Structure formats: structure tokens, C-alpha cells
Chains A and B, each alone.
Chain A
Amino acid sequence: MARPEAEVTAQAATVRIWDVAVVGGGVVGCAVARRFALEGAAVVLLERAPDILAGASKGNSALLHTGFDAPPDSVELACMQAGYHEYLEIRERLGLPLMETGAAVVAWNEDDLVRLDAILAQAHRNGVTDVRRIDRAELMQREPNLAAHAKGAVLVPGEHVIDPWSAPLAYLTQALAHGAAVWRNAPVTGGDFDGVTWHLATPRGPVSARQVINCAGLQGDVLEHELLGSSDFEIRPRKGQFVVFDKAAAKLLTTIILPVPTERTKGVVLCRTIFGNLLVGPTAEEQPDRERAATDSATLAQLRDQAIRMLPGLADIPVTAIYAGLRPASERKEYRIAAKPGRHWITVGGIRSTGLTGALGIARHVWSLYAEQGYRHTPPEVGHWPRMPNLAEHEMRDWQQPGYGEIVCHCEMVTRREIEAALTGPLAAGDRHGLKRRTRAGMGRCQGFYCTARVAALCEGRLHE
């Protein structure tokens, strides 16, 4: 059964030794905690912020990628494909949504057009065999609102849209239901390894574990400098800004529109979100700062214009939200996953721009690195499949069922019943950002004009900000 955090703290006082401490509650840490808990290891996840998903995982494009354009034969590709399949396999039992949109890599000029063949060849080489060329006529038939200068495309039927937050929340909730624990507001600030056990320091008390798995995202190399004295990789944050259009835009588009990629980036995507909006982004901007993901109006205006050039109907549609995320990229274009058996440490770093898709696959890969070292646990019966509340617009929402009490956020139709649920349970929201990610309250077109105060009142004294 799930364990409330207070109880865990009490246990910590008796100096429990965990099998594994996962540092970092991003999507990767959550998936790793789940895998290890399902395999029978005693897992504690340590997150420095008041809530999980406070780093790279709080702002991404929310696409479930097939890996059609990933580096061939890479660990990244293998993890993405394993992650993709596991997501599809478990999602219904966890109540995780899927919007089956498919994607089109669209050629907007002659140069793009000549590069489509190479994209197709790479997709087939990566085992994504349903990818095919479509001509302009077929593209326009699929997407009649697309700008007339589209020249043709590569269609990737398997690319889909998911909910970026309910997935990691489900992974960690399931881990908790199988004996794992989570400490929030618990940054790992130091630690000693005595040859058998790690003794980690956090402001909430010491944590002892036989193995540390570093899933600290943007802080991964910093953590290793602190605890190991050195790091094999260096995080180079890469910012991506987004513009989200009003829900009125969703009817203009079905397929995810991808550009023909360049050396540096997959480029700006135009797609619907699972919540019924339409987004354009991300940019790719290197910056030294690992904490701040600021938006700037010039870039946002450019993104908006770029979106209108692809989908002219957007010109009349207001902007609902803006946001930015930081990719935990490293100095190399690959995942940086490695075990250091002598130090009882596994690095899961540099999970740059595909971690939402790859997380479940990464978790399996990390488990095998661990198991290869001879560790054995007895898997519990996997009996708990906690269902996430549905926030996807194309499926039944809470307000459509009686007894919800009150609609608190009118733009996103968030009910008091949903807010209450998000404020209770083993993984209750830790701060107001976390509450937004769990319910969407305040994330709609009025951005809290009507509901901010009501939400604040419902949360009074119930968060750990």
C-alpha cells in the first residue's frame, strides 16, 4: 500500500537502508522508481522541489515518438522504442490518454523535398516500417487547412500526443503502491559511500541506500561532482519556448506537423495538445542557466508567425499560454547512461529531448544494468494499477459526471472534486504548480482571471510550498 510521507519520515529515523535511492523526480526518475519497485527493490525517490516534475519534465511538447528519426542503433532509439511500446501496453490500466494523430514531416520548399527520401530511409532503418511518402494532394486531403505552399510529406502514423504529466504521476503512484517512498523538498546536498552503502544528506534527514541512481536531469553532472568528485558528462541546457493557442484552433489540424530537421534541432512542431489546444514550438536555445526558462516576446511572436505561415487560420485565434522548458542535453548527442559498479552508482544523464517517450524504456535498461551486477529481489505481485484522473479533452472529463460540487476553473472545466482529489492521496500536489499539472486549474484561456483566488482558497494550508 501507499505510504504517507509523514510515516516515511518516521521510518527514516530508524535508519532504514533502502536498496535504491533515485535522485530526481522527473519523468525518468519516476519511471525508474516504478521499474525497481515492480522488480521488488526497496526504493526511495528524492526530489528537491516541493513537487515532482519541477525540472525538464514540466515543459515539453508531449509527443510520444516512434523513434523514426532517432540516431540509428543508439541506446536512445532502443529506449524510445521500448518506452513507446510499454506506454501503449500499460496506459489503459493506468488511465493514461493517447491521441492518435500521426505526424507528417512536411516539406515547405524544394530543398526540404529532396531530403524527404533520406528521412524515409532512416525511419525504415530504425524499424518504423509504416512510414511512407505522401504527395501534396494526399497531405492537403488529410490537412485541408495547411498553407498552400506545402509540397509533400513523410507520414509517420505512429507518432502520437499524450499527457506529459499524468504519465510520470502514474509511474510514481504505481511505485508507491508497490512499496516505494517519495521524499519531496529533499534535495541531495551531499553524501558518503562506505564501500557498501551510500549515506545521502538531505534537509529532511539522512538517507541510506545500497545503490544511487542519478536521475537529476539538469543537475545530473553537478550531483556527480558533489558526490563522486567528477562527472563523465556536462549538462548544456537547451531551452525550448512554446506558444499555445486557444482551443478554437484544435479544429484546424489533426496530424502533428514536423519540419524537415536540421543538424541542430528537430525544429518547430505544430500540434494539438491532449487538452484540446494547439501548440507551436519548441525553439532550441543554448544557455548556461540550468534553473530559469524565461520566455521572450520577440521569440514568441516569431513562433506565432511561423505557426500562422503553416496554418493560416491561426491568425484569428488568440494565444492561451506561453511556456518554456530546458532540455538536459549534454556535450554529446546521446543519452549518458552508465553504471559505476564499484561506486554503487548508475548515471542516467543527458536525457535531452525524448525522455517522455523513452522513460519506461530507460527504466528497463537501467534495471538490466543493475541486475547484471548480480543484485536479486523478489518481485511482488503487481496488483495495483492506480488510475489517473482523465484530463484529455477527447475523453470523458469529471464535469460530465454528476456530483462534482462546483466548477472551479471554467476555462478548463476543472471541478472541486478533481481539486480535492489532487490535494489528497499518496502523491498529493506539493505546490500550486503541481496542482495545475494534476488538474489544469488556471491553465486555460483566462489564465486564472476567474479562478486563481478560489483555487488559492481551496489550497489554504494544504500545500508544502
Chain B
Amino acid sequence: MSDSRPIEVDVAIVGGGPAGLAAAMALRAGGVARVTVLEREEAAGGIPRHCGHPPFGLREFRRLMTGPAYARHLVAAALAAGVDIRPRHSVVRLHPGGQLDLASPDGTRQMAARRVILATGVRETPRSARLIDGDRPLGVINTGALQAYTYLEQLRPFARPVIVGTELVAFSALLTCRKAGIRPVAMIEAGTRATARWPTSLAPRLLGVPLHLRTQLVEIRGRKNVEGVVAAGPDGTPREIACDGVILTGQFQPAAELVRASHLRLDAGSGGPAIDQFGRCSDPAFFAAGNLLRPVETAGWSWREGRRVGETVAQDLAGALPASTREVVIERDAHIKLVVPQRLAWPQFGAGIGDHVQLRVARAIAGTLSARANGQVIWQRPIDTLPERRILVPLDALPIPADARSILFQIDPRG
């Protein structure tokens, strides 16, 4: 320990991405004096720092920007608002009541905050956790790493990769490749259609990259570097595709390791901390915002969520946010992968992080989505959706009975 006295602040924000910076600015606007953003990278800005393409900034600055320009704008705005941003400060542990252990090049320190906002974002699932068969050569990376190579380090990890997946981020990988002079040899997707919406899903054809649907990555080959992948198409026959890299895109998961190692409750569905509609965690000194809450939303969405949590925390510090006296747990059936928030708190107060419950499904599904309380259907609506698409249920559309302890969302598939 270089200094044993904890640094005291009003609010410590863990993570300086769009959500964290927006929360910080909202806190300053709400009259909170000491607002510190702890960011482990050399600069705040989050993922947009290495998304070298538009569209960013529409919601926040009413301008179309590239990610890096947007990140710089956010940082400048936060500094101008009097936010204390500390780059190269890693939060390594969370303690009950708002204590944090920090590491920085100057030494390890403790920070004591009246409130903490967690905003550590998401990342993509790596090769290991996907249990992909084959060798383990260099050159199997996620989109995030590809973008860091291209935009942060000006390096080219490979020349002819295969792109795996068709979530929105896969098209961002495609654009990044184009920018870096990398020519993907194929894009493969296990499902029957591209996950991202039209017209994005036309992009590969426009860029001259063959898109293979209903094609499964079977194996990665190569001892030192990638030499090829084996993929099985609709007829199941494995086929080798020569390539020198693999970009594994999407399958996002919240960067929730601090939460997992702490006293806070983790939600198995979202992979993020369990929260109420104010963004409050199981320890009321902790709040959370942005993509840490669930995979995955845009920067603009995360920014808005951050701002709302910032506003809520400012009110909490002013003594306006009531402690919860009654809680309704939000449950889900197996068709539904996640629900955020995971509980609603009474008394009601303001809008919280949004005025809705957000759901995502586990598999492509069509049918009726309903909410039940005390065994009765209190709300329902037809749906036809894919796993990566958000479903929003307005909170004020849910007539929750006063004696209900929980509500259950379920889907009755059609046919």
C-alpha cells in the first residue's frame, strides 16, 4: 500500500465508457461535488475509442461521429462538467458499503465512496468459452481485439480471416477489415438468417465477402498461426476454408468479474448485477448502468441509461430516493434469456433507468408474450423475434396487484 488512507469521494464510477461518463455528468448537473470516474485504460471513452466508424453521437450530440471522435467528445464534456477522471486506475475489488480497492501505477489505494456506479461494459465470448474444436494457434480473436489492432495500434493481425457470426458487431468487423486492408474470405453463420437487421445484412455481399448461412464452425486448424477452418454447411459436409485468422464476433457477455467476486448478487440470465428499476444493486450503496446490465445495446442507449442512473443517484444522495419497502421479483420462463431489471421496488419514484422492463429471448421464437401475477395474466402481446433483439414492456402497462410478490414473464410459442 503506498498510502493507507482511503480517498473519499461522493460517487465513484467504475468504468469510463459512455454509460460511466454520462452518469458522472448527470451527477455533476445534479449538484454532487466529488464525482470520480475510475478508468483502467490510458484514456476514458470505453469501447467507442476503437470503433473507427459511424454512427455514434446522434442521441448525445445530435451529430454523426466515428467512435473515437465520440469518445473524445464525451471525455471533454465530462471534464468541462467538473468530473474527476482517473485513467490507468483499475478497480480490483468491491467491498460492502461503497469501499473499493484500486491499483494505479503510483500504487494500490482504497477509495471510500458514498455511492458507487458500476459501468464496466460488455465483451465478446472468446474461443475458449465457446469450446471450439481444433488447434490453438495465434490469430483467433474477437472483434474488440481486431479493432484495437486497427485503430489503437495501427497493426494488422492477419490478411485473410474468416468472420464467425452475423450480429451487428460482425458488420462492424467487416468495416474494420476494409479499413485495415484485410480481406475476409468468408462470413459464416449457424442460423438460417443473419442476426442483424436488413440492410446491414446486405453488407457482406456489397463488400464482396461470401456469407454462408446454416454453416457451423467445426474446427480451427494451424499450429503456430491459423491455417484454415473446417466448416459444415447445410448438408452437414465438412469443408476446409483456407484462411490466416478467425474473427469470433458477438455472443456478448457483461464484464461482470468485479460483481462475481463481490458480495453483490449476480443475475444468471443477464450475466450482470441484479438491479431494481433504479439501477440499484443488492447493496444499496452500489448502482449499475450501461452494457454491464445486459448484452448488448448501443452506445447511445448505454449513455442514456448512465445519465438516468446518475440522476437517480444524485437524488439518492440528496435523500430523495426512498429505501425500498416492498419488492416484486421479476421471473422468466425458459424461452426468455434475460430480464432487466430483475426486481421492482416500492415506493415508486421517478422513472428509474427507463420506463420499461427489457427482455431478450433465448432462441428465435414467435408466439404470445405474457406477464402473470398471482396466476393471472396481467398483460400480453404477440411477438416474433430473434435472440439479439430487445423487447420492451412499458412499466406503466403492467397492472401489478398490490399483494403480488413476483411477476412471471412467459412465452407461449405459436403452433
A interface residues with partner B (beta carbon < 8 Å)? 244, 246-248, 291-297, 300-301, 316, 318-323, 399-407, 410-411, 413, 431-433, 445-450, 452-454, 456-457, 460, 465
B109 to nearest A CB, angstroms? 10
Number of B interface residues, CB 8 Å?
43
Chain A: CB-nearest residue to B90: A407
- B157: chain A residues within 8 A (beta carbon): 452-453, 456
B106 touches A402 (CB 8 A): yes
Chain B: CB-nearest residue to A244: B128
A402 touches B153 (CB 8 A): no
A338 to nearest B CB, angstroms? 31
Interface string of B138-150 (1 = CB under 8 A from A): 1001101100110
In Å, the complex CA distance between A320 and B130 comes to: 10
B129 touches A320 (CB 8 A): yes
B103 touches A400 (CB 8 A): yes
Q: A405-B105, A454-B152 are in contact. Are A292 and B133 (CB under 8 A)?
A: no
* Residue B92 interfacial (CB < 8 Å): yes
Number of A-B residue pairs having CB atoms within 8 Å of each other in the complex: 114
- A399: chain B residues within 8 A (beta carbon): 90, 103
Chain A: CB-nearest residue to B268: A316
A449 touches B126 (CB 8 A): yes
The 19 listed contacts between A and B (C-beta, < 8 Å) are A247-B261, A295-B131, A295-B136, A296-B134, A319-B129, A320-B128, A322-B128, A404-B105, A406-B105, A407-B40, A411-B257, A446-B123, A447-B129, A448-B126, A450-B144, A453-B148, A454-B152, A456-B155, A465-B224
Chain B: CB-nearest residue to A319: B129
A84 to nearest B CB, angstroms? 30
- A448: chain B residues within 8 A (beta carbon): 126, 141-142, 145
- A321: chain B residues within 8 A (beta carbon): 128
B105 touches A297 (CB 8 A): no
A322 touches B149 (CB 8 A): no
A313 to nearest B CB, angstroms? 12
Q: A295-B134, A432-B138 are in contact. Are A410 and B40 (CB under 8 A)?
A: yes
- A404: chain B residues within 8 A (beta carbon): 105
* Residue B200 interfacial (CB < 8 Å): no
Q: A297-B132, A300-B131, A413-B92 are in contact. Are A449 and B124 (CB under 8 A)?
A: yes
Residue of A248, A294, A450 touching B261 (CB-CB under 8 A): A248
Residue picked from A402, A433, A447, most chain B C-beta under 10 Å: A447
Interface string of B102-127 (1 = CB under 8 A from A): 01011110000000000000011011
Chain A: CB-nearest residue to B137: A433
Chain B: CB-nearest residue to A446: B123
Residue of A301, A431, A433, A447 touching B131 (CB-CB under 8 A): A301
Interface string of B35-69 (1 = CB under 8 A from A): 00000101000000000000000000000000000
In Å, the complex CA distance between A433 and B135 comes to: 14
B155 touches A447 (CB 8 A): no
A312 to nearest B CB, angstroms? 15
- B4: chain A residues within 8 A (beta carbon): none
* Residue B223 interfacial (CB < 8 Å): yes
- A292: chain B residues within 8 A (beta carbon): 135, 223
B131 touches A456 (CB 8 A): no
B332 to nearest A CB, angstroms? 17
Q: A320-B128, A405-B105, A446-B126 are in contact. Are A460 and B90 (CB under 8 A)?
A: no
